[in-house]
Amino acid sequence: MRIFVTGASGFIGSAIVQELLTAGHQVVGLARSEESAQALTRVGAEVLRGSLEDLDSLKKGAANADGVIHTAFIHDFSQYLAAAETDKRAIEAIGSVLTGSDHPLVVTGGILGLRTDGHFATEDDPAPGFPRASEATAMALAEAGVHASVIRLAPSVHDAGDQGFVPFIINTARKKGVSAYVGDGSNRWPAIHRLDAAHLFRLALEKGAVGARYNGIGDEGIPVREIAEIIGKHLNLPVVSIVPEEAASHFDWMGRFITFDSPATSVKTRQQLGWEPTNSGLIADLNVGHYFDS
């Protein structure tokens, strides 16, 4: 299959590209910059120059492909609403050229904050359509005749090169001189290794059902306190509890997310796609040490 991948040179997207190529697929990656284009060329992928804001490039990529994996997102949390709206328009543009075909569209969503009652989130729990509308947009496309499905990723997609939530927490600890958690730190975050996530995207592309929601979950729920303790150990910093009222000032934009209790399972995903995480969990990955090299 000829697969169009957005975010193809990113942390997750680059692993997906390699997964697809290894499985024998052709890959066309969306590239905004020359650096991204060169990275894609080096691994054997074709390049389509464009961006999430360039809807014509997205439509062209989708129209000339047998399937689409959409991983690109503007990770500017100071302009999150604008980023979410850009994402929504991009998904709709891709879907507009896939309607009525059997060409699969796999969209990236998230699972953090999906439930707030302490229960494990499952594939049966729909995500709210706001502020990030990726899942709701994909589900609307599925109802309109697009072979669309969603992979909801854990808040920590971890591996060497991670630039997401966990590195931000580590850098905050360095700046503040303490490794902090909120309250008793018992709130839980799920996690998934980047290579396991890439494998899941390929399986969803190849075997996914229309309108399906798949949970990209390896670790079902790690107490945030445990993450803070490992960070403190590696940075030789004290581990402290802060009250909820201090979360925003201490963690900046992460202050809201760091308090979420969002355990989740991937039982149905594993059953339906025959997927099984095989790589290290977040705690083992943190203990390898590469998160603390810089």
User: Model pTM?
Assistant: 0.96
Q: How much is the average pLDDT of 54-70?
A: 98
- Over residues 260-285, the pLDDT tens digits come to 999 999 999 999 999 999 999 999 99
Domain 2-158+191-217+266-279, CATH homologous superfamily name and number: NAD(P)-binding Rossmann-like Domain (3.40.50.720)
The overall average pLDDT reported for the chain is: 95
Neighbours of 91 (CB within 10 A): 28
Long-range contacts of 29-38 (CB under 8 A, 24+ apart): 29/4, 29/5, 30/4, 30/5, 30/6, 30/57, 30/58, 30/61, 30/72, 35/9, 36/8, 36/9
> What is the model's pLDDT at position 74?
86
Segment 150-171 mean pLDDT: 96
Q: Determine the pLDDT at residue 294.
A: 66
Contact between 96 and 59 under an 8 Å Cβ cutoff? The reply is yes
User: Residue 16: its pLDDT value, please?
Assistant: 98
Q: Which residues contact 216 (CB under 8 A, 6 or more apart)?
A: 111, 151, 152, 153, 154, 157, 192, 196, 197, 200, 266, 269
Q: With 80 as the cut, is the pLDDT of residue 246 above it?
A: yes
